[in-house]
Structure 1
């Protein structure tokens, strides 16, 4: 207590006493408001001691005037004055002891709360460190996956570029083939319109005397290698015309028809 100040002994109040206070025979002191409550209940609010008479409590002026101080112990012999002073000192000492005890209890509770908070903070720290490590590992894995995906995308982009170049090349080749086919069709139409005579060698290849594919095959396979080579050229001619979709108005070989 600073400068000899007293506080209300009710735990929920703890108000600093300045002027009037209620003092009990059980060495407790209360503010004027809670003193009136204690008087009406006829017991001490701190320890629950019953008031048997009006001498078990008294309303005290904590700031007595000089006249009251001079008259307070007047007429008493020194022994009585010393006894009263000793009891007053004992009361004040008890209040100091009670205040220190309350402060110790508050300090103890505060330390326990601090320890609990430290343990809780330590557990949170451990938990969050674990979460951070987990997130860091996850981040590294994600970075690795992203790098792999980027590498795959680069490969796919290169393949796409290659396919694009190849597609353009094939489109050019296809356009060239179409132009050549158109030229061949135009040339064939001109040949048919002019009714130009056939080449004897061509007639020999495509108009043999045999009348069936099987007989012609037997004829050429049984003949010399020169005739067999010409027959293979004839088959290649048919395959090429089948691929380009060209069908002559009349097949030159009697063994075939539409």
Structure 2
């Protein structure tokens, strides 16, 4: 707060006090003034030291406790009987004290302002650095977002390609499934037709799975066990001829006709 000559209130010069003075104040020869609380506490020690400028106050009138709002009787008698030059000298010194206090307050305010400006510049510098750092981080994040978008687009492209291939495989699978179903139905129809058709003469080879046409086989030889000739057995039956013998034998003979042995 800036003081002017028209201001009627002084401020305590004790550091970190800065309160407005009222009632009683302590005035020093080094042109400093203190509130009654801090003046009583500081100047009760010996030797007395000014809290504002650290000056030694050893004289009898170096420290004066004065009333800031004196009574009318005091005003009428304090300078009474003094010569005009003494009155003017006292008034001039009192005005000089007041001017010094105003100047000191202005210097203090300028000092506070310079400190505030320095702090403001420092804060602006820090803020600028933080903004630059944030801008760098933001630009880095934007670049990362761009790169992530590119990666996402690449994944989308690969996904679309894989989806197309999968759809093509599904179409091929459906086509093959349809062919398989048609072939199975055709085989079922052919199998039913084969069962309805009479089998051709022949035999089935179980080793190869092929039906062979039967060929005429020679009649099996009979061997007589005894001279009676009524008990005869087949001497041998070929593996493939065992069945075909009954299918492709000689013309049927009468049951009552006897077989004779060739000599």
TM-score (norm 1): 0.70
* Change over 3 Å in CA distance of 1:252–1:34 after alignment to 2: farther
* Displacement of 1:190: 5.7
* Displacement of 1:93: 1.5
Give 1:100's aligned residue.
106
Q: List gaps (5 residues or longer) in structure 1.
A: 208-245, 254-258
Q: Aligned partners of 2:78, 2:212: CA distance in 1, in Å?
A: 156
Q: List gaps (5 residues or longer) in structure 2.
A: 214-263
Give 1:87's aligned residue.
93
Give 1:13's aligned residue.
17
Structure with higher helix content? 1
State whether structure 2 residue 3 is matched by structure 1 residue 37. Answer: no
Give 2:139's aligned residue.
133
State whether structure 2 residue 73 is matched by structure 1 residue 76. Answer: no
* Displacement of 1:101: 1.4
TM-score (norm 2): 0.69
Deviations, residues 115-146 of structure 1 (Å, cap 9, x unaligned): 11121122122222222222222222222222
* Displacement of 1:249: 4.3
* Aligned counterpart for 1:117 among listed residues 96, 112, 123: 123
Q: Aligned partners of 2:16, 2:64: CA distance in 1, in Å?
A: 22
Give 2:245's aligned residue.
none
Residue 168 of structure 1: SS of its match in structure 2? helix
Deviations, residues 55-90 of structure 1 (Å, cap 9, x unaligned): 221111112232222222112111111111111111
Q: Aligned partners of 1:114, 1:68: CA distance in 2, in Å?
A: 50
* Displacement of 1:46: 1.2
Q: Aligned partners of 2:131, 2:108: CA distance in 1, in Å?
A: 34
* Aligned counterpart for 1:157 among listed residues 154, 159, 163: 163
Q: Aligned partners of 1:109, 1:145: CA distance in 2, in Å?
A: 53
Residue 83 of structure 1: SS of its match in structure 2? helix
Moved more, 94-103 or 61-70: 61-70
Q: Aligned partners of 1:195, 1:248: CA distance in 2, in Å?
A: 18
Structure with higher strand content? 2
Q: Aligned partners of 2:212, 2:127: CA distance in 1, in Å?
A: 100
Deviations, residues 125-171 of structure 1 (Å, cap 9, x unaligned): 22222222222222222222222222222222222222222211111
Give 1:196's aligned residue.
200
Residue 54 of structure 2: SS of its match in structure 1? coil
State whether structure 2 residue 158 is matched by structure 1 residue 167. Answer: no
Residue 55 of structure 1: SS of its match in structure 2? coil
State whether structure 2 residue 52 is matched by structure 1 residue 25. Answer: no
Deviations, residues 86-124 of structure 1 (Å, cap 9, x unaligned): 111111111112111111211111121121112112212
Larger Rg, first or second structure (1 or 2): 2
* Displacement of 1:12: 0.9
* Displacement of 1:53: 4.4
Aligned length, in residue pairs = 206
* Displacement of 1:196: 1.8
* Displacement of 1:172: 1.4
Q: Aligned partners of 2:210, 2:140: CA distance in 1, in Å?
A: 81
Q: Aligned partners of 1:15, 1:131: CA distance in 2, in Å?
A: 48
